[in-house]
Structure 1
Amino acid sequence: MALNPPTLTDGTDERARPMVMPFPEVGPLMRVAYRELGILAAGSEQQIRALGDPARLPRPWDPATCRHPDLRAEVWAWLDAVVEWVNHEHLWDVAAVIPPCWPHHPHLVRELAVLADQRRRAGATLTSDLLEDWHRSTLPGFLDRMRARLRNHCDEGHQAWPSKGRHIRHTDQASRAERADLFRGDVAAATAGVHRGVSPQRLSVVDLETGEVNEDWVP
């Protein structure tokens, strides 16, 4: 005799839960940003002109380009949801889990933004080709780089940046001055070479207003 499945108080089967969870959706401002990028890629000349300077358009896969505070907040909320989704839907071994301290790691922030954007794009296509590539290559590549860079530093909670001391030494005034001297010396040597008869390099300069290419000699 078959047993009846266990039910909840509302009469539904307590086992009635989805086997997989949907990929997190972007917020309204991110949808606007992606729509504008789509216009830039395939819109009419008039639509593209209406967008203004293409270089100023926010690109969610590069969070530093998202300068509007509300848009930036959406990006962080989306990436946080994506991290939870990846950890739950794709990872089993604890060594592969993206740590909760990921916002403390600029390299993870930048790579996660690309990982999330490529998964979003793969899920929006009409074939499974990009999604298969994301499963086979993009996600494993990200996890391998994450493990190589973090090692076990944050296994028991976020740890201070091990390279902080070297970074401070690299950016202190004495180190900056030393490098500036080397740069100036190199430029002076290049200038002396031109004066000795070495052929100067020709650079093309584009007028950003007209698109006209003007060529000039660099002394």
Structure 2
Amino acid sequence: MTETLTHFEPFPEPPALILEYIAERSTEESVAAGGPAPWDLGALSAELIEPLPAWLDSVCCWLNRTYAWQPQDVIPPCWTKHEGLAYEIAALAFARGDVYAEAGSSVIWHEQYDRFLTRMNKALGKAGDECRVGKHDDRPARFQLAAWPTAKAEETGAAGRIEERAG
């Protein structure tokens, strides 16, 4: 009996607006040339951020369905509430678009994915178990960060913008 590989899902396509931005960014005469990288969420305009939460969420779902065989490998549904994860997921998603030109690049992307999981689990700590079952609490270290005079002003940065649109 021969099994076919027809059940494999394709990686989610980036939004058209983002693909256009990437194409514009690569032309020297473009106004967007030299603009922020599309994975630099904090540097993007509101217009470019707007389609990203839905796409990145579909990327997270794809990664979970495709690779998450163990509980610690699951990206939690509240990923937008974990500021660092949004940056990491965006970088990983955009990096994947380039990897299948060569088999060796694909191997490197999988190694990057494995390192992402390590960093994600370190960042989430024990709270990750609760997040993965839909019980998100604010960052355990939030009280320590609140002691910084600039902490309250910075809480409205890119992660907040992504969360607002995802939510």
What stretches of structure 2 of length at least 5 have no aligned partner? 152-167
More strand as a share of residues: 1
Where does residue 96 of structure 2 map in the other structure? Answer: 119
Correspondences of 1:123-134 after superposition (within 5 Å): 123=100, 125=101, 127-134=102-109
RMSD of the TM alignment (CA)?
A: 2.2
Matches within 5 A, 1:26-175: 26-39=14-27, 48=28, 50-52=29-31, 54-55=33-34, 57-69=35-47, 71-123=48-100, 125=101, 127-135=102-110, 137-156=111-130, 157-171=135-149
Deviations 1:72-118, CA, capped at 9 Å, x for gaps: 12111111110000000011001210000100011000111111111
- TM-score, normalising length: structure 2: 0.78
Q: Is contact 1:36-1:51 (8 Å) kept? A: yes
Could you tell me how far 1:38 is from its partner in structure 2? 2.4
Percent identical:
30
Partner Cα distance (1:88, 1:164) in 2: 31
Gaps of 5+ in 1: 1-15, 40-47, 174-219
Q: In the aligned structure 2, how far is the partner of 1:165 from the partner of 1:54?
A: 40
Residue type of the partner of 1:51? S
Contact 2:26 2:33 in 1 (8 A): no
Cα distance between partner residues in 2 of 1:26 and 1:171: 37
Query: Are the counterparts in 2 of residues 33 and 59 from structure 1 also a CA contact under 8 Å?
Result: no
Amino acid in structure 2 at the alignment position of 1:95: Q
- CA change 1:172–1:75 in 2 (3 A) is closer
Matched position secondary structure for 1:155: helix
- CA distance in structure 2 between the aligned counterparts of 1:37 and 1:166, rounded to whole angstroms: 39
TM-superposed CA distance for 1:154, in Å, is 3.5
TM-score when scaled to structure 1? 0.61
Q: Structure 1 residues 150-159 or 99-108, which shifts more?
A: 150-159
Q: How far apart in 2 are the matches of 1:161 and 1:68?
A: 25
Shift of residue 54, structure 1, vs aligned partner: 3.9
The answer on whether the counterparts of 1:63 and 1:75 sit within 8 Å (CA) in structure 2 is no
Shift of 1:17: 9.0
After superposition, the Cα gap between the structure-2 partners of 1:72 and 1:172, relative to the gap in structure 1 and judged at 3 Å, is closer
Partners in 1 of 2:25 and 2:150 — Cα distance?
39
Higher relative contact order (CA 8 A, sep 6+): 2
Aligned length, in residue pairs: 145
Q: 1:42: which partner in 2?
A: none
